[in-house]
């Protein structure tokens, strides 16, 4: 099987995929998150990012997964309700300084950061910050222009 040739122009024009996040509504019961984790692990899908927002009746688990395509298929097979959204993930070379610079850049660009959380994996030895922004394209662009490294899904899941 031959691998198709991609010109430099094709590679530049190929759209980068932002990191996909699954939001799953769970009952606020002991073991609900553990059961979801077990379901994923049976398909060898790892949780590489997690944020949990609790309320009295339900919990929203925001998940970044090692194999989003398989996870989507699994959730559909099992009837697990979810939504997908895109995150901008930034490599934090110097946690304090890069975080401060990242937040400053977004503030100066007047773009909203709705929420953020750290991923439990590293990229090339550096911490990763996942952010839900009002506009991924714009946010990634201003962060890149400021010298921060945006990590895309294909780079993260290699």
Q: Break the chain into its structural domains and give their ranges.
A: 19-85, 87-156
Question: Is the distance from CB of 45 to CB of 77 less than 8 angstroms?
Answer: no
Residue 89's pLDDT is: 97
Distance between CA atoms of residues 129 and 88, nearest Å: 8
Is residue 56 very low, low, confident or very high in pLDDT (cuts 50, 70, 90)? Answer: confident
Give the CATH superfamily of 19-85.
Answer: VC0802-like (3.30.2130.10)
Is the model's pLDDT at 30 over the cut of 90? no
Query: Under a CB-based contact definition with an 8 Å cutoff, are residues 123 and 61 in contact?
Result: no
- Pair 144, 88: CB distance under 8 Å: no
Q: How far apart are CA 12 and CA 147, in angstroms?
A: 19
How open is the CA angle 119-17-111, to the nearest 5 degrees? 70
Rounded to two decimals, the pTM is 0.84
Residues 89-126: pLDDT tens digits?
Answer: 999 987 788 999 999 999 999 999 999 999 998 888 88
Superfamily of domain 87-156: ACT domain (3.30.70.260)
pLDDT at 15 over 60: yes
Q: Please tell me if the domain spanning 19-85 has the same topology as the one spanning 87-156.
A: no
């Amino acid at each position: 099987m031959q691998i198709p040739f991609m010109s430099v122009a094709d590679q530049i024009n190929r759209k980068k995929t932002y990191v996909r996040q699954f939001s799953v509504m769970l009952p606020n019961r002991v073991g609900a998150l553990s059961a979801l984790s077990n379901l994923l692990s049976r398909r060898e899908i790892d949780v590489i990012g997690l944020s949990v927002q609790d309320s009295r009746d339900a919990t929203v688990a925001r998940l970044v997964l090692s194999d989003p395509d398989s996870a989507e298929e699994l959730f559909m097979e099992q009837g697990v309700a979810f939504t997908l959204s895109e995150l901008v993930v930034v490599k934090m070379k110097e946690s304090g300084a890069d975080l401060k610079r990242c937040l400053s850049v977004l503030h100066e660009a007047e773009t909203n950061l709705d929420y953020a959380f750290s991923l439990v994996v590293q990229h090339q030895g550096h911490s990763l910050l996942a952010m839900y922004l009002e506009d991924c394209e714009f946010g990634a662009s201003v962060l890149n222009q400021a010298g921060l490294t945006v990590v895309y899904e294909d780079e993260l899941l290699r």
